[in-house]
Each structure stands twice: as structure tokens, then as C-alpha cells.
Amino acid sequence: MTETLSYQNDQKVQKNRWWILVAVGLFTFMSTLDGTIVNIALPVISNDLHIPMSQSEWVASLYLIVVCSFILFFGKLSDLHGKIKIFRFGAIFFIAGSLLSGIKVNLLFLLVARAIQAIGAAMTMATNNGIITEIFPTTERGKALGTIGSFVALGSIAGPGLGGLILSKLSWSYIFWLNVPVGIVAAIIGAIYLPKDITFTTSSLDKMGSFSFALGMIALFGGIFLGQQFGFTSLPVLAMLLVGVISFIWFVSIENHAENPLLQFKLFKNLDFSVSLLCALLVFITNFFFNVVTPFYLENARHLAPSQTGYILMILPIVQFFAAPVAGALSDKMNPKLLTFIGLVLLLVSQICYSLCNLNSSIWLFVGSIAIMGLGSGIFTSPNNSLVMSSVQQKDLGIAGSINSLSRNLGMVIGISSATTVLFAAMSHAKGARVTAYLPKQPEIFIYGMHVVFIISMIICLITVILSGWRLFRKD
């Protein structure tokens, strides 16, 4: 590893650092967006390709599963061969996958295209924070990571709203094709301004660890999504879940004995690193509880038009987009632990407000809660990213960035898979019969289920507040 070289001593790189941030940020936005934007298009895709809704759901699920399966691998690979090189390859894969995903052939073609797109997304997500941390000086790192946090926020929450607006005028293909011109522009900016890699490690790649982790992710979450469709007592589902559990046990065993493990568990001994990752995971679970339930509430229960719902849902990412860079800049000048605590308290307040909404509540109570949630997420995300990336050595920036991205994507997968399960289980309890869809003539059944979902998300937020508060006020 060449420790004497630094991007922060390179005047040309420092002159172009904000252009580099734009290139990295655009791919961060698009790769995160594509984990959510497709959900709103699933009914249209189902009708267009003549497939049942249960099969079309794999278009959304497969993307997140592939990202989670390979993000650590690419993070480690970037430490070995260069973060910028892996980022460039990821950009090519993502653009190609986006182009192919919009071509209407059949479900298998679409799933293969989504897998290519997800591999590209995993490459860019695994390297974005590491690239920014290496290039920006410590006095601007919080602001820069805060801007990346804005792109993550915008991408993860804007999906339903932006997707609804696209579908109101264009076919579902444009949900994917939107990435192509934006991706090409970002790739050109990157080709002009991204420097050559100068930071490498000389350790070998943990192939068995990478394989066991990917197998565990695919089997476990594949089993969960299949279980929602066919029941968790189905033999194939149980077999997949068992393979997932065994694979993760195997992964831990490999990592504990490997000379150069994919995931160094010693990183988690760092309190700032571990608490920040856990809080990020829990916050993204909460965000996707919101993503799953809110369209039902606004469109089905409150009878708002899809366009109105889209505009309301856009409030959250817009507020978060402006709050995150400000919070990032503040984290360069004040205790970032205090900022994460304030952001998490605001998130808790928003969940309490959601749990109070019903069929007769003022819609402005819900809109105000969304704005508070956006503000809380924006204040939390930037300093939390800064805490994660500043708590590890330079040689571990790639794997640390990929773990940080993994925590967000795991939050998405867990949030999506568990929110619908909790919602319909609560509705089934209230109905006294199995419920797997919204009941138009019994909106009060949905409201009961919604309250259960938001009470759980409120408890999750309370846990994050306690964790963050303990870290802030503890005496070292």
C-alpha cells in the first residue's frame, strides 16, 4: 500500500473534488432509487408481461437481494484493486442493466437485466463513501458525506412519488431508461475528473467468505419473499431458510479463521462504528415501513389521486435533501453524535404522529409528520455517515463504506419484507380471517393494521434514540 500518496495533497484533485462528488452522487442516487421506484410499477409490469403479481414482485426483490449479496465483496475488492476502478466498472454495469431492463421481452429477461443492474449498483454503493472520504479533507468531509447522504435519502424515499409521476405520462420502461442519459452524463463527468487509484492493500481476497455470505443472503431473503407468497410451512421455503442460516454460520466460522477475512469483526469493537451502523439499519427499516403503508393510507383509505399521493410523498426526500448537507457541514464544526441524537428524536416524533392518524384526521397532520420525518432523517444521515467513515483506518475505507451501504440495503429488504407481513397479520387479526390485500369496504381494518405497523416503527425509533443517547452522554 502506498501510504505517502494522498489525494488531499493533489491540487488538481482538490480543484475538481466537487465535480467528483457530483459524479459519485448521481450514481448513488440512481442505484438507491432503483431499489424503490419499481414497486409502484409492479401492477403495470404484471399486466404488460402477462404474469401474476406474485411473480412481478421479484423484479423489486431480486435487485435488493443481489445488492446485499455482493456489496461486501465489491467493498473488499475495491480495497485490493482500487475504489475508483470498481466504481467505473459499476457505472458501466448499471447503465447497461438499466437499458436492458426497459426492453419488454419477458420476465426472465427482465430479471437477468435487473441482476446486471444490481451488480453495478453494488459496485458503486460499495465505493462511494470510501472515494469521498479519501478525496475530501477532514474540514469538508462531513459536508461531502452529507451531500452523499442527500442523494441516498432522495433515492431511497423518492421512488414511489417519482415513479407515479413517470407512469402517469409514460410506460414502465422509462422508469429504467431514466437512468441511461443521467448515467452517461455522470460517467462522462467521472471520466474527466475522477483520478487514478493510489490506495491499495496487498492482502488476498476471501473467496470462500464471499461465497458463503452471498449464498446466505440469497437463500435467507429469497426464502422470506417466497414464504410471503406460498407460506412459511412450504418445504422449499423451509429448505431455503435453512440453507441461509447454515451459510451464515459457515460465513462466521470462515471469517474467524481466515488470514484476510472479507469482514473483519474487530471493526465492530469500535463503538462509534457499530452503533452508527445499527442505527442506520433501524432507520432504514423504519423508512420502508413508511414506504409500504403510506400509499395504502393516502390512496385507498383517504381516496387521494395517485398524483396527489406522489406530491405528498415527495415532501420527505425534498426536506431531507436540503437538511442533509446542512447537517453534514455542522458535523464538521460540532459533535456529530449530538446531531444524530437530535435527528433520531425528530424521527421518533414523526412515528408518534403517524400512529395518531386515522380516517378522520386532518391530512395536514400526516403531511406535517412527513416533513418532520424528512428533517429528522436529513439531520441523522450525514453525521452518522461521517461517524462510520471517520472511525476506521484508511486501508479499511472500502470495506467500511460497503458495510455502511449494506446496513442501508438490509434495512430496505427487512423493512419491505416485514412491513407487509406485519400489516396483513394485524389486519387478519382485526378481521378474524386471513387478509392479504386492502379491504375497500372495511377501511377501519386497514387503519388498525397501520397503527400496529407505526407502533412497531415507533418502538424501533425509540431504540435508536436510546442507543444514540447512551453513546452521546456516556463517560469514556
* pLDDT for 447 beyond 90: yes
% of the chain exceeding 90 in pLDDT: 32
Output the CA–CA distances (angstroms, integers) from residue 34 to 73, 115, 123, 152, in the order listed: 20, 12, 14, 11
pLDDT winner (highest mean) among 177-181, 299-303, 357-361, 456-460: 456-460
Overall average pLDDT of the 432-450 stretch:
85
Query: Tell me, what's the pLDDT at 3?
Result: 47
pLDDT winner (highest mean) among 158-172, 224-238, 440-454: 440-454
Q: Which three cell numbers stand for residue 373?
A: 420525518
Overall average pLDDT of the 286-307 stretch:
82
Q: Contact 32/63 with Cβ under 8 angstroms?
A: no
Banded pLDDT at 339 (limits 50, 70, 90): very high
Query: Tell me, what's the pLDDT at 55?
Result: 76
Encoded amino acid at 247, one letter: S
CA–CA separation, 201 and 77 (whole Å): 10
Overall average pLDDT of the 150-162 stretch:
73
- The predicted model scores a pTM of 0.78
Q: Contact 449/354 with Cβ under 8 angstroms?
A: no
Which residues lie closer than 8 Å to 274 by C-beta, 6 or more apart?
268
CA–CA separation, 391 and 141 (whole Å): 13
Which residues lie closer than 8 Å to 108 by C-beta, 6 or more apart?
none
Query: Tell me, what's the pLDDT at 157?
Result: 67
Which carries the bigger pLDDT value, residue 68 or residue 295?
68
Please give the backbone phi and psi of residue 360, each rounded to the nearest 5 degrees, phi first: -105, 0
Overall average pLDDT of the 348-360 stretch:
93
Overall average pLDDT of the 302-319 stretch:
80
- Crossing angle of helices 138-167/306-313, nearest 10°? 180
Angle, CA of 51, 57 and 61, to the nearest 5°: 145
Overall average pLDDT of the 237-254 stretch:
94
User: Buried (b) or exposed (e) across 352-378, using 16+ Cβ within 10 A?
Assistant: bbbbebeeeeeeeebeebbbbbbbbbb
Output the CA–CA distances (angstroms, integers) from residue 425 to 28, 123, 418, in the order listed: 34, 36, 10
Banded pLDDT at 2 (limits 50, 70, 90): very low
Query: Tell me, what's the pLDDT at 112?
Result: 96
Which of 159-163, 193-197, 462-466 shows the lowest mean pLDDT across its residues? 159-163
Query: Tell me, what's the pLDDT at 263?
Result: 81
Output the CA–CA distances (angstroms, integers) from residue 126 to 72, 325, 356, in the order listed: 7, 21, 38
The DSSP call for residue 205 is P
Overall average pLDDT of the 180-187 stretch:
91
Which helix H or strand E contains 312, and what residues bound it?
A: helix 306-313
* pLDDT for 448 beyond 70: yes
Query: Tell me, what's the pLDDT at 99?
Result: 95
Q: Which three cell numbers stand for residue 224?
A: 422470506
Q: Contact 83/197 with Cβ under 8 angstroms?
A: yes
Mean pLDDT computed over every residue of the chain = 85
Encoded amino acid at 416, one letter: I
Overall average pLDDT of the 53-63 stretch:
78
* pLDDT for 201 beyond 80: no
Counting Cα atoms < 13 Å in the Cβ hemisphere of 399 gives 24
* pLDDT for 49 beyond 90: no
Q: Which three cell numbers stand for residue 301?
A: 383509505
Banded pLDDT at 1 (limits 50, 70, 90): very low
Banded pLDDT at 340 (limits 50, 70, 90): very high
CA–CA separation, 39 and 417 (whole Å): 13
